[in-house]
Amino acid sequence: MSTGINWLKYSSPQAFYPLAGRLIPWFACVAVALMGIGLYMGFFVAPTDFQQGEAYRIIFVHVPAAWMSMFLYVVMAVWAGIGMGLNARLSFMMAQAIAPTGAMFTFLALLTGAMWGKPTWGAWWVWDARLTSELILLFQYAGVMLLRTSIDDMRRADRASAVFALVGVVNVPIIYFSVQWWNTLHQGASVSMATGSKMASTMLTAMLLMTVAFWLYSIAVILARARCIMIERESLPVWDEKAAVIQEAVEAR
């Protein structure tokens, strides 16, 4: 399979491992800084919402978490697809590294959604299209991870969970549409989530800052997890890490 030498160079774990190691601190630092600024803006600059009072401040974590949960699923499916198409180990490792973080954000989106829903709608849970899609998304993340852990053969685990991730990416929009359709049928059972009121620009800024911070956090965490996966999987690593480990081993004698 000839896909160009450059691509092969970057797609090899050997090249990726040290690169990721150098990038992680940068992403982590910028993520923390932006999170600090975002929280400051969110709590001290953004005004009180005249309809929802202070409860609206939950959206500074809820909306970024919800966006990340969906975005990460798509990214995971893209890596899975690349892995299936090019038979590239690194792509499968990336897909594997993304799933737990995506699942965590999905869980957080559901939790903070309930926290927001109780004071605003008077109910912890509403069968709204977004909430339902998010719940199904959580199941799909769980499916991808469980399918992987229950298959012993690594190669098969990679490919089987990739197929499921790709099938799921088709499913989520259909679910969203179907629940919305279903709500029009069962009128009165649902409350529209659209706030109606215009957001103050400082609110929007704070929310976007938090989103970028979450995004950078995800990149840092996912790269770190990918590095762990590489150490675990490659029985004899040939990266700079190996030299350090041998050094340590010799000193230990």
Partner 1 sequence: MQWGSASEFFAMGGYGLYVWTSFVATALCMVWEVSALWRRRVAARAEQRAALLGGTDETTA
Partner 2 sequence: MLQAVALHCSRGERRLFTDLNVKVERGSLLAVVGENGSGKTSLLRIFSSLLPPEQGSVLWEGQDIQQLKELYSAELTYIGHLNAIKDDLTPLENLMSAMSLTGESCSHNGAKEALEAIGLKRPIHHLPSKVLSQGQKRRVALARLWLSTRPLWLLDEPFTSLDTAATGVVTQRLHTHLQRGGLAVVVTHQEVALPAETIQRLRLTG
Partner 3 sequence: MSGSNMWEAVSGIVRRDLLLAMRRRSDAAMSVFFLVIVVSLFPLGVGPEPAVLRIIGPGVLWVAALLACLLSLGRVFTADYLDGVLEQMVLIPQPLAILVVGKILAHWLISGLPVVLLSPLLGLQFGLSGEPLGVLVMSLLLGTPTLSMIGAIGAALVLGVRGSGLLVALLVLPLYVPILIFGAGAVTSSMAGIGGEANLSLLGACLVLSLFLAPWATAAALRIALE
Name the minimum Å distance from CB 92 to partner 2.
Answer: 14
| Binder of residue 160, out of partner 1, partner 2, partner 3, none (CB less than 5 to 8 A by kind) | partner 3
Q: Which is nearer to partner 2, 9 or 156 (CB)?
A: 156
Q: Determine if residue 191 is left, alpha or beta; phi over 0 gives left, psi from -120 to 50 gives alpha, anything else beta.
A: beta
Q: Which is nearer to partner 1, 57 or 183 (CB)?
A: 57
Do the Cβ atoms of 151 and 95 come closer than 8 Å?
Answer: no
CA distance 220 to 225: 9
- Pick one of 91, 140, 190, 211: the residue that binds partner 3 (CB under 8 A): 140
Q: How many residues bind partner 1 (CB under 8 A)?
A: 42
174 binds partner 3 (CB under 8 A): yes
Residue span 183-212 as binding mask against partner 3, x where in contact by CB under 8 A, dash where not: --x---------------------------
| Binder of residue 143, out of partner 3, partner 2, partner 1, none (CB less than 5 to 8 A by kind) | partner 3
| Binder of residue 100, out of partner 3, partner 1, partner 2, none (CB less than 5 to 8 A by kind) | partner 1
| Binder of residue 5, out of partner 1, partner 3, partner 2, none (CB less than 5 to 8 A by kind) | none
Using the structure block, give the residue that is written with the tokens 């800024």. 205
Non-local (6+) Cβ contacts of 98 within 8 A are: 72, 75, 76, 79, 222
At 222, list the tokens.
């996912």
Q: Which residues bind partner 2 (CB under 8 A)?
A: 153-154, 235
| Binder of residue 154, out of partner 3, partner 2, partner 1, none (CB less than 5 to 8 A by kind) | partner 2
DSSP sequence for 86-150: H--HHHHHHHHHHHHHHHHHHHHHHHHHHHHHHHHHS-S----HHHHHHHHHHHHHHHHHHHHHH
163 binds partner 1 (CB under 8 A): no
Chain-centre distance for alpha carbon 108: 11
**Residues between 17 and 76 that touch partner 1 (CB under 8 A):** 43-44, 47-48, 53-55, 57-58, 61-62, 65
At 233, list the tokens.
């999987």
74 binds partner 3 (CB under 8 A): no
CA distance 188 to 227: 50
Residues that bind partner 3 (CB under 8 A): 84, 132, 136, 139-140, 142-143, 146-147, 150-151, 153, 155-156, 159-160, 163-164, 166-168, 170-171, 174-175, 177-179, 181-182, 185
